[in-house]
Chain A
Amino acid sequence: DAKTTQPNSMESNEEEPVHLPCNHSTISGTDYIHWYRQLPSQGPEYVIHGLTSNVNNRMASLAIAEDRKSSTLILHRATLRDAAVYYCILRDVDSSNTGKLIFGQGTTLQVKP
């Protein structure tokens, strides 16, 4: 599986936008980009995923670079509840219906009031 690189930690102020970067320079054409987050004392939860085009849902937006070698998860207005570890994960289309995810170390997001 192709690897991803994320900053270890980031800080944000409450109600400000947050841009969480992810580098995946060895991504293949069939890799989807997935984001999960893990709130304290909880299991990970799905945030968003995409292939080539930018994606939006109620939780966040995903901006994918044109060459697909990097992506950015955007939280439009951070709240204290968004403090979590955010994981950027690549999944090949052939395994996208399976339960196997390869987690990296993720980015710990701290949100200040």
Chain B
Amino acid sequence: KAGVTQTPRYLIKTRGQQVTLSCSPISGHRSVSWYQQTPGQGLQFLFEYFSETQRNKGNFPGRFSGRQFSNSRSEMNVSTLELGDSALYLCACNPGQNTGELFFGEGSRLTVL
């Protein structure tokens, strides 16, 4: 069974640029969530998409956005990058039913210079 695939795994950007990260969930999993992990703040919830609609949103500025496609693949975008956006961005999926379990990818490591 294929797991959660995140691309790219590593990337380096400079301040002011924008970045797009991609997440392909497990087949049949309709919910995709995004998390930011930093040494200082730990794991923080960004947003969740279910059936192409944002269902939940964390406390992040509008520079962070996302979308979900009809095949459940999701992208997140960060515009006008700041040094503090350097982090591991994790994607998680679940079937959308009451199973309680999320499946995480290995993340995309973003470094902003």
Contact = CB atoms under 8 A, between A and B. Distances in A.
Interface in A30-51: 32, 34, 36, 41-46, 49
Interface residues of A, number: 23
Interface in B69-113: 90, 92-94, 96-107
Interface stretch (A13-21, A64-72, A74-82, A101-109): A101-109
Given A32-B100, A46-B101, A105-B42, A98 B55 contact: yes
B17 interface: no
A99 B104 contact: no
A interface: dominant SS:
loop
Contact of B106 (A43, A91, A99, A104): A43
B48 A100 contact: yes
A8 to B, nearest CB: 12
Contact of B94 (A34, A36, A87, A97): A97
B105 A43 contact: yes
Contact of B31 (A43, A49, A91, A98): A98
A61 B101 CA distance: 16
Contacts of B33: 98-101
Given A49-B100, A98-B31, A101-B33, 10 more contacts: A41-B106, A44-B104, A46-B100, A98-B50, A99-B31, A99-B93, A101-B35, A101-B45, A102-B45, A103-B45
